[in-house]
A = this chain, B = another copy of it.
Amino acid sequence: MESTRERPVTMADVARAAGVSRTTVSFVLNDRSGVNIPGTTRERILHAAEGLGYRRNAAAQALASQRSGLFGLVTEIVTSPFAADVIKGAQWRSWEDNRFLLIAPSENEQMMEAAAIEKLLEQRIEGLIIAASWHQAIEVPENAHQVPCVLVHCFDESGRLPSVVPDEESGGRAAAQELLAYGHREVAHITLPPGIPAQVGRLRGFGAELSAADVALPDQRIVAGDGTAESGYHGAAELLDGPNPPTAIFCGNDRMAMGAYDAIKERGLRIPHEISVVGFDDQQALADSLRPGLTTVALPFEEMGAAGVRKLTAMTTGSRDTSSHLALDCPLHRRSSVGFALR
Contact = CB atoms under 8 A, between A and B. Distances in A.
A118 interface: yes
Interface in A41-66: 55-60, 62-63
A249 B121 CA distance: 54
B292 A291 contact: yes
Nearest to A88: B84
Copy count, this protein chain: 2
Contacts of A102: 100, 102
Interface string A122-141: 11100000000000000000
Contacts of A60: 59, 63
A121 B55 contact: yes
B57 A63 contact: yes
A122 B284 CA distance: 38
A78 interface: yes
Given A87-B87, A288-B288, 20 more contacts: A55-B118, A57-B63, A57-B124, A59-B59, A59-B63, A63-B63, A77-B91, A78-B88, A83-B88, A84-B85, A84-B88, A91-B103, A100-B102, A101-B103, A102-B102, A284-B284, A288-B335, A289-B335, A291-B291, A291-B336
A260 to B, nearest CB: 19
Contacts of A287: 288
A95 B87 contact: no
B291 A55 contact: no
A309 B27 CA distance: 37
Contacts of A84: 84-85, 87-88
A105 interface: yes
Contacts of A101: 103
The 4 closest A-B pairs by CB, nearest first: A59-B62, A84-B84, A59-B63, A58-B123
A284 B62 CA distance: 41
Given A88-B84, A105-B92, A59 B68 contact: yes
A56 B122 contact: yes
Interface string A266-289: 000000000000000000100111
A216 to B, nearest CB: 34
Contacts of A88: 77-78, 83-84
Nearest to A98: B119
A104 interface: yes
Contacts of A95: 104-105
A58 B122 contact: yes
A293 interface: yes
Interface string A61-86: 01100001000000001100001110
Nearest to A290: B293
B91 A58 contact: no
B122 A55 contact: yes
Given A289-B293, A291-B292, A293-B289, A59 B105 contact: no
A286 B59 CA distance: 43
Interface-centre pick from A55, A78, A83, A100 (highest chain B CB count, 10 A): A100
B92 A124 contact: no
Nearest to A85: B84
Contacts of A118: 55
Nearest to A92: B78
Interface string A103-123: 111000000000000110111
